[in-house]
Structure 1
Amino acid sequence: MIVPGSASQALAAALAEHTDRALATPEYRWFPDGEECASVPEFGGEEAVVVAATESNDALVELLQLQDAVREAGAETVTTVIPYMGYARQDRAFEHGEPVSARAVARAVSTGTDRVVLVTPHEPDVAEYFDAPVEVLEAAALLADPLPVDLTDPLFLGPDASAEELAVDVRDAYDGGETDFFEKVRDYDTGEVTVMPSDADAAGRDVVVVDDIIATGSTMSEAVAALRERGCDDVYTVCVHGMLAGNARTKLAAAGVTHVVATDTLERAESDVSVAPLVADAL
């Protein structure tokens, strides 16, 4: 049975359809002190697949409760699908005395599941922090499908070196174009990010900027502004996880982005691609 977290309802419904499994209808209530209680009164069967993006602290607590609830309801095995793993970017202690938050989250999730499925975590090494078996799915190639078939001499760019592999995946799925990346330098004291343009010639070309996540949109906007200065044509920004916090979408539009494409690992208006088929194959 597929059991959705409140932040992953559309994805869970699509996954139930792709796998021909029943879809549970969890209930959520809050106590006067603000504590939440997530329950699955309609659960049935021996296997539970909990699908829950942990995009907030509340969503993380909800996931832990759903894992426990399905056990109480009789599930013998639990698979936890985390389409977007919050805290995955805190994969190490940046200062003495700071936590490795990704490790703390992974250990907590591991206590209530037999298996974990992650979709394009920001740092793949976070899979090692789980005490349960983990399968990592890479969804970047899916981002090519919504792109126009007639892009002009397309250039697929990662906003930093670590994202070039994602750009290659999208380029290969699109079956044409060149790849490159920007140099990105982050000041961990101030949080400020500086993006240095690559040497790729963008003039007269359509550009697809590829990243695993668009959070505040600041880095992506800088990259797009640099491309506009170099005379590119249309700019498409694509990402697996469209967090798009605050005024991120406005920043991208102001920078001259033609279209924003994201998957439904985080359910937003820009979620043009579903990872349900990918996850279904892993179940």
Structure 2
Amino acid sequence: MTDFKLISGNANLALSHRISEYLGVPLSEISLSAFPDGEISCKIEEDVRGRDVYLLQPTSPPVNDHLMQLLVMIDSCKRASAERVTAVLPYFGYARQDRKDEGRVPITAKLVANLITRAGADRVLTMDLHAAQIQGFFDVPVDHLYAAPVLNDHFLSLGLPRDEIVIVSPDEGSIKRALGHAKRIGGNVAIVDKRRTSAEETTQENIIGGPVEGKIVLMFDDMISTAGSICGAAKIIHDRGAREIHVATTHAVLCGPAVERLKNANLASIVCTDSIPLTPDQILPQTQILTVAPLLGEAIKRIHRNESISRLFQ
């Protein structure tokens, strides 16, 4: 496990160090800076010729800066004659722009996939894409991991009574995710009927499925952005008499009014992973951060050894 290189951008250095510790492979030296006009400067300070290189860089906010930094790092590795470059994206920005839902709009997720591929990435390792079909936007192999095992293990460790749990899907699009968690954790499943009124606003009207009165509700989503959907769902669940509500997400984007909304949502816990680094003002007293470093590290190890990673989905 010493014949490949781990190189980290600036997007999530804490997670990169955890992955490095898990693998027992130090992060390679890299110089990243900016010219006075904002252009990104990059120099890899170690020899990567003929090596397997893994670039660790989620395209989290500020998305454009981190994406451009990733592209520059890929180009640096390819021009330094790296044998294979794998872009490790714990969080893939622009994933929500994955289709044309009205006229004269781009499919930006495909554009970003093209940029990463054309820059020279030979493979992509990512986690909890907003839509699984985004894998098909890349013209290189994509390994798509799920943080569900990490989140499930957390709630199982709490010893919650299965007959008192209700797994609630915050919208119709997350039903499959809710069923997957219910299969592992137990409990009934319910769905919140969500209606989107604009790009930023949603309304929640009804709960379909098992009753939530007096129950422990667990809600899972792939990301929390402005927290409008998850907090709207929490309100209607509270109104229906739920005993306590726990919210879990892979990617805590938390932009705009998200933190204020979560603060006022009366949630027992907010569980997220470290795929995106949180600033101190984004961490509430009930926030619990789980690391996905072992999951990503094990995937890197298995990819490098040409082994199956299907066991990581269990």
* TM-score normalised by L of structure 2: 0.83
Alpha-carbon deviations, 1:158-207, whole Å to 9, x = none? 11122122223333343x2122221222235x643122331331111111
Aligned residues: percent identity?
Answer: 31
Partner of 2:53: 48
Distance between the aligned counterparts of 1:58 and 1:277, measured in 2? 27
Q: Is the 8 A contact 1:242 1:271 kept in 2?
A: no
Residue 43 (structure 1) shift:
5.4
Once residues 22 and 191 of structure 1 are traced to their aligned partners in structure 2, the CA distance between those partners, rounded to angstroms, is 42
- Residue of 34, 37, 56 corresponding to 2:38: 34
Q: CA RMSD in A?
A: 1.9
After TM superposition, give the deviation of residue 133 of structure 1 in Å. Answer: 1.1
Listed as ranges, the matches of 1:188-203 within 5 Å are 188=198, 191-199=200-208, 200-203=210-213
Structure-2 separation of matches of 1:239 and 1:134:
22
**1:137-152 alignment runs, 5 A limit:** 137-147=145-155, 149-152=158-161
Name the residue aligned to 2:99: 92
Which ranges in structure 1 are unaligned for 5 or more consecutive residues?
Answer: none
Task: Give 1:280's aligned residue.
Answer: 297
Is the 1:154–1:208 contact (alpha carbons within 8 Å) kept by the matching residues of 2? yes
Distance, in Å, in 2 between the alignment partners of 1:68 and 1:240 is 29
Give the Cα–Cα distance (whole angstroms) in 2 for the partners of residues 39 and 95 of structure 1.
42
The 8 Å contact of residues 39 and 65 in structure 1, kept in 2 or not, is answered as no
TM-superposed deviation, 1:47: 1.2
1:207/1:234 contact within 8 Å kept: yes
Match of 2:134 among 126, 150, 162: 126
Mark the CA change 1:187 to 1:39 in structure 2 (over 3 Å): closer, same or farther.
farther
Structure 1 residues 64 and 201: alpha-carbon distance in aligned structure 2, compared to 1, 3 A threshold: same
Conserved? CA contact 1:146–1:272, under 8 Å: no
Letter of the structure 2 residue corresponding to residue 88 of structure 1:
A
Q: Does 1:167 align with 2:167?
A: no
Q: Helix, strand or coil for the counterpart of 1:184? A: strand
Mapped partners of 1:264, 1:156: distance in 2? 23
| Counterpart in the other structure of 1:79 | 86
Letter in structure 2 aligned against 1:160? D
Partners of 1:121 and 1:67 in 2: how far apart? 21
Structure 2 unaligned blocks of 5 or more: 301-314
Q: Secondary structure at the residue paired with 2:37? A: coil
User: Matched residues in 1 for 2:244 and 2:43: separation?
Assistant: 47
- The letter for the 1-side match of 2:34 is W
Residue 265 in structure 1 maps to residue 268 in structure 2:
no
Aligned residues: 281
Whole-angstrom distance in 2 between the partners of 1:93 and 1:133: 24
| Whole-angstrom distance in 1 between the partners of 2:193 and 2:29 | 45
What residue in structure 2 maps to residue 106 of structure 1? 113
TM-score, length of structure 1 as denominator length: 0.92
Task: Verify: 1:247 aligned to 2:257, yes or no.
Answer: yes
Contact in 1 for aligned 2:244/2:267 (Cα 8 Å): yes
CA-CA distance at 1:13 after TM superposition: 1.6
